[in-house]
Structure 1
Amino acid sequence: MLCAIWTALALPAIIAGMILHRKAEAWGKSNWAILPKCLSTWMIVGNAILGIWAAGDRGGLDKKWILAALILFLMADGFLQVSFFAGMTVFGAGHLVLIAWFLTRGAFHPISILWWILFLGGALLLFRKEMERGREKPLLYAMLLYPAVLMGMTAIAVTLPTMLGADYLWAAAGAVLFAVSDLMVGKGFFRKLSPPADALALGLYYAGIFCISMMTWF
């Protein structure tokens, strides 16, 4: 019941933050756009905090890993407004925390390696033209580390429901939504996304981390 009440209160705030973020950027107030964006992410961090407080650590989920990852995502949102590469680095740290949490759950399965190869291969194929610029800007090759980590997190996450139970569908769905969002954002780094695509990428991101935060309620 508490989860439903909080969700009903939090979702409008998250959506309002998304709208204000996009409006601020459209008005040329990019320095202010960070505030509503981080507000939306903070509401999701708040969801995790409330979930941990209300549900405790039933099932021994060791939920501090989830909260730590979400706090890193909140920090990354701020860094992203200052430097794309700084934001990407902090996001990568958040994904590494989630990978560590998955591994502490004993959730690794060899099939995750196959998923990782497929997911990363798809990402590299999607960005093949952009990576050709790496001859002129070698830093672009360093950017490949991020999708390698992101797809590693996703590859493990999609196996969680079959290995650990249906509750982990939240984590699996969140990881997939996050990955799709980040691929869209990555494309936008090289060529500006259309307003609808930009809104979709942001919406998928918040949907993804919200799903991940829901794991704290179990």
Structure 2
Amino acid sequence: MSVSNAAAAPWMWRKMDIAIVLAAIGAIVGSMLSSGGADGWACLHWVCKPLATVLILWSAWRAQPPVSAGYQRWLVTGMLFSLAGDIFLMLPVDAFVAGLVAFLIGHVFFIRALMTDTRFAARPLAVVACLAYGALNLWALWPALPGALHLPVVIYVVVLASMAGQAVARAWRHAHDALAGPAQWAAAGALLFLLSDTLLAWNRFKLAIPMSALWILATYYAALWCLARSVRRGG
């Protein structure tokens, strides 16, 4: 990279972050103000929700230098399935299961990315803690879950919690080496993903959370942004 290109790189990433924030705000505002029909606010949400994910995905794909080519490839593939999940969940029909499956596959790819330099459950306590958190939420939500969703939700929670646990285990494992910064970004993103999905599940099945779109989407985009940030070597 030339000196001029190196100097321009930070500004390029700042512009990308600004675009991501604006798209995320559009998705949140559109969701909060939509009447539920195809009004202008709903259209804003439909455009900005996938756009924010696409921008984050692109930033992960373009991140240089990456932690490794394999980590970048697996993580970006996971984000592609997250994008598919975004689209399924905002369709004007009930495609909740399709969205769940898309995100589940995405988490499998995230786990694969997190295993490129750290074996699964390298720090077992981290994985056990996240699985216990998922089990506690399942226990609390179980009476409100439709019977047809019991198995898909259980599988999803196990995979999501395993992804979060692996990310924390990886950050723990690399706490004092060259991957410390990127691994911490990945752990933050994985835990935010766990929080976002917790809020979504409670809002959908148990109780109405005030301004739910704000909390769910803000934590979701923050999760994806942190995961994208974890691609770039140097923390």
Cα distance in 1 for partners of 2:17, 2:96 equals 30
Cα distance in 1 for partners of 2:68, 2:133 equals 35
1:75 corresponds to which residue?
84
Counterparts in 2 of 1:175-190, with a 5 A limit? Answer: 175-190=190-205
SS at match of 1:63: helix
Q: Does the C-alpha gap of structure 1 residues 106 and 203 become closer, same or farther in structure 2, counting only changes over 3 Å?
A: same
Matched, 1:217 2:227: no
**Partner of residue 169 from structure 2, selected from 159, 169, 178:** 159
2:101 corresponds to which residue?
89
1:116 corresponds to which residue?
127
1:126 corresponds to which letter in structure 2?
A: N
Q: Does the C-alpha gap of structure 1 residues 128 and 29 become closer, same or farther in structure 2, counting only changes over 3 Å?
A: farther
Q: Does the C-alpha gap of structure 1 residues 126 and 216 become closer, same or farther in structure 2, counting only changes over 3 Å?
A: closer
2:5 corresponds to which residue?
none
Q: Does the C-alpha gap of structure 1 residues 195 and 36 become closer, same or farther in structure 2, counting only changes over 3 Å?
A: farther
1:145-199 residue CA offsets vs partner (Å, 9 max, x unmatched): 1010000000010122232322211100000001001011111221353332331
2:184 corresponds to which residue?
169
CA shift, 1:116, in A, is 2.8
Moved more, 114-123 or 184-193: 114-123
1:51-99 residue CA offsets vs partner (Å, 9 max, x unmatched): 2xxx144555541111111111011101122411110111010000011
1:8-27 residue CA offsets vs partner (Å, 9 max, x unmatched): 33322322232223323x35
1:194 corresponds to which residue?
209
What's the TM-score, normalizing by structure 2? 0.79
1:144 corresponds to which residue?
154
Cα distance in 2 for partners of 1:50, 1:103 equals 21
1:18 corresponds to which residue?
28
Cα distance in 2 for partners of 1:193, 1:44 equals 29
1:205 corresponds to which residue?
220
What's the TM-score, normalizing by structure 1? 0.85
2:113 corresponds to which letter in structure 1?
A: W
The answer to which structure has the higher helix fraction is: 1
Q: Is the 8 A contact 1:68 1:94 kept in 2?
A: yes
Cα distance in 1 for partners of 2:228, 2:33 equals 26
2:48 corresponds to which residue?
36
* Percent of residue pairs bearing the same amino acid type: 23
Matched, 1:103 2:115: yes
Cα distance in 1 for partners of 2:57, 2:80 equals 7
RMSD: 2.4
SS at match of 2:211: helix
2:4 corresponds to which residue?
none
Q: Is the 8 A contact 2:122 2:169 kept in 1?
A: no
Provide structure 2 residue ranges, at least 5 long, that are not aligned to the other structure: 1-9, 175-179
Q: Does the C-alpha gap of structure 1 residues 203 and 60 become closer, same or farther in structure 2, counting only changes over 3 Å?
A: same
Q: Is the 8 A contact 1:79 1:86 kept in 2?
A: yes
